[in-house]
Amino acid sequence: MDLSQLTDRINTGLAQLRYGEEPAALYEPIRYIMALGGKRIRPLLTLLGAYVFTDELEPALKPALATEVFHNFTLLHDDLMDQAPLRRGQATVHEKWNPNVAILSGDVMLVRAYELFLDVPAELLPHVLRRFSQTAAEVCEGQQWDMNFETETEVSIEQYLDMIRLKTAVLLGFALELGALLGGASRQDADHLRQFGVGIGVAFQLRDDLLDVYGDVATFGKRVGGDILSDKKTYLLLTAQAQANEAQRAVLAQHIGQPVPDADAKVQAVRAIYDELEIRPQTEALINDYFLDALQHLERVAAPETRKKPLHQLALQLMEREQ
Amino acid sequence: MDLSQLTDRINTGLAQLRYGEEPAALYEPIRYIMALGGKRIRPLLTLLGAYVFTDELEPALKPALATEVFHNFTLLHDDLMDQAPLRRGQATVHEKWNPNVAILSGDVMLVRAYELFLDVPAELLPHVLRRFSQTAAEVCEGQQWDMNFETETEVSIEQYLDMIRLKTAVLLGFALELGALLGGASRQDADHLRQFGVGIGVAFQLRDDLLDVYGDVATFGKRVGGDILSDKKTYLLLTAQAQANEAQRAVLAQHIGQPVPDADAKVQAVRAIYDELEIRPQTEALINDYFLDALQHLERVAAPETRKKPLHQLALQLMEREQ
């Protein structure tokens, strides 16, 4: 099972999708955002989820692509809501065109994502679409919580973890569950794969939060300290705020939610508190908990180790992005 | 077949729908827009489409409600894109909450609309969802054309008619086709009902354009002349521009696309040109053409007249809203 070959197959499949032609302002943005690239992790998970149970991966391809189209739909609308100017170094759709084009072409992407499921065998289709719809609603819930948290003063660590589960992890879980179902898995095994994906997803997002503070710019690819500068209530900040003594709390209050005269000074001051409170090892321990818990679900899937190995490898690969 | 009883059944069904609870900012706007009311024409068409073939309307109820949820999703996003402050006399969602809430709660409405189809018998589900998805994409295309036309200088009458077909009529056609399929109709009969609905839909929208200029405020419910004031390229204006002599063309150019110092004067001047060119009887003739063509499709449906009578009556009712 060669992951890069599988990614090539996914990219070929994506390139062959036809979203529509006219009006161009509706369909051109879809081709644009889909062509920005990305690691195609969700369709990869679907295909590897199917591979656990079958060698016939072709029937899983179109549904796998559906998860990627849906994911890019969420990016398109999220970028608009977050007023993000760039996505993978290129202008976002609402910047390149305008907000209305972003709204409407996003809407059509969601429709096209549903369409890509419609070749799923009739006996599986209602269940697959129920699970997809539930997942899609949860992803929207996660985005709404994320936006709410920007202005809420009291966000608990539990609420934050639930937000990243909804916004990021449940779709990874669904992508795996989908592959399992299409590969002929039992509902129970499909659910174990789903839980494996959710766990990996939360761990992956926590690692992303950690790299935002402690990562190497070259490998992380984003400016380090971005979350601190934007006062984002991540696991790191919420944990620091919960564990800080009075003096540390005062330093945090002096920087978080305040105007930033000196960006580097802010990042350094907040990171110093994180260091004092040992936020990094605490976060790494939590990531490890999620990761090990996820692996237990993978182990419980009733299939030979050799069939599960590519998934195990991909999970390791995702978690070790700094190495 | 008592239409008001059927509408009551639809409203009871809508009131029982559960979209979700938390976060409130995601789900409250859905309950809000669904509670603003409306004539519930689309679910009514689905139930009457089913009635042509069966007395068992209950299995068609949830899919019928899906068409209404989808319709209200389009209203929610369209109001945002059009920056409309009011919907049925109440604040629009983006005004009452904010644009991001309107985007995201709209997205969830589209997901919930799909979910409402999932009890459709497994043998029909793929076809129903394919037709729904095609229709949904066409409705988005219609909205994009409508927005494009605001800034385009050259819009043909044919383009305008195609825009209203996509934006308004195809969903009415799908609502009927859906009911027919659920009622056990042949694909051919379902398609005749669809074409009946599309024809009625275009006729209905043209009548709306006509009433905007020549309607009675009391019965029309909107300010008369709104389309003229906003320079909307309706069938009336496009026809007038195509048929105007040089003097009339100059009067139109003096008012259309120009700042409006005196709203009443603008409406009167443009309407005077319409009167000279007999735009009203021409529009009425076109409405009549679409209406009669639609009725021919209804006639071709292989079912007793008594089963089709409620649909015929509803169509008459829709067209005679001024009386």
Residue-averaged pLDDT of chain A: 95
Residue-averaged pLDDT of chain B: 95
pLDDT higher than 60, residue A322: no
pLDDT digits (tens, 9 = 90+) for B64-114: 999 999 999 999 999 999 999 999 999 999 999 999 999 999 999 999 999
If pLDDT is split at 50, 70 and 90, which confidence band does A15 have? very high
pLDDT digits (tens, 9 = 90+) for A80-103: 999 999 999 999 999 999 999 999
- Which one-letter DSSP state was computed for residue B82? T
Closest CA to B194 of B144, B127, B109: B127
Return the pLDDT at B323.
Answer: 34
Name the strand (E) or helix (H) holding B91: strand B90-91
Return the pLDDT at A1.
Answer: 77
Return the pLDDT at B322.
Answer: 39
* DSSP secondary structure string for all residues of A218-236: HHH-S-TTHHHHTT---HH
Q: How far is CA A124 from CA A46, A97, A186, B115, B157, in A?
A: 15, 39, 12, 15, 46
Average pLDDT over residues A292-302: 98
Least confident residue range of B107-116, B294-303, B313-322: B313-322
Name the strand (E) or helix (H) holding A210: helix A187-214
- Residue A291 Cα to chain centre, angstroms: 15
Of B20, B122, B129, the CB nearest to A137: B20
pLDDT digits (tens, 9 = 90+) for A127-137: 999 999 999 99
- Comparing alpha-carbon positions, the chain B residue that sits nearest to A133 is B111
The CATH topology of domain A3-319 is: Farnesyl Diphosphate Synthase (1.10.600)
Measured N-to-C along each axis, helices A41-51 and A305-319 cross at an angle, to the nearest 10 degrees, of: 160
pLDDT higher than 70, residue A22: yes
A103:B26 CB<8 A: no
- Which one-letter DSSP state was computed for residue A87? E
Q: Give Cβ neighbours of residue B271 (< 8 Å, ≥ 6 apart).
A: B213, B214, B225, B228
The interface predicted TM-score (ipTM) is: 0.96
What are the extents of the domains in chain A?
3-319
Strand partners, A90: A87
pLDDT digits (tens, 9 = 90+) for B206-237: 999 999 999 876 665 666 799 999 999 999 99
- Comparing alpha-carbon positions, the chain B residue that sits nearest to A146 is B23
Phi first, then psi, for residue B90 (nearest 5°) are -115, 160
pLDDT digits (tens, 9 = 90+) for A155-166: 999 999 999 999
B136:A111 CB<8 A: yes
Residues of B with CB under 8 A from a CB of A: 20, 22-23, 25-26, 77, 80-81, 99-101, 103-104, 106-108, 110-112, 114-115, 118-119, 122-123, 125-126, 129-130, 133, 136-137, 140-141, 143-145, 147-148
Closest CA to A133 of B23, B24, B66, B123: B66
Closest CA to A271 of A262, A280, A258, A282: A280
Q: Give Cβ neighbours of residue A221 (< 8 Å, ≥ 6 apart).
A: none
Task: Label each residue of A111-137 as H, E or C.
Answer: HHHHHCCCCCCCCCHHHHHHHHHHHHH
Closest CA to A17 of A49, A61, A75, A73: A61
Return the pLDDT at B1.
Answer: 77
Q: How far is B318 from chain A (nearest CA, A)?
A: 29
- Residue A146 Cα to chain centre, angstroms: 13
Q: Give Cβ neighbours of residue A270 (< 8 Å, ≥ 6 apart).
A: A228, A237, A240, A252, A255, A256
pLDDT higher than 50, residue A104: yes
Return the pLDDT at B216.
Answer: 78
A103:B77 CB<8 A: yes
Average pLDDT over residues A237-266: 95
With contacts defined as CB-CB under 8 Å, which chain A residues touch B171? Answer: none
CB atoms near residue B261 (< 10 Å): 7
Q: Give Cβ neighbours of residue B161 (< 8 Å, ≥ 6 apart).
A: B202, B235
pLDDT higher than 70, residue A310: yes
If pLDDT is split at 50, 70 and 90, which confidence band does A216 have? confident
* DSSP secondary structure string for all residues of B234-256: -HHHHHHHHH--HHHHHHHHHHT
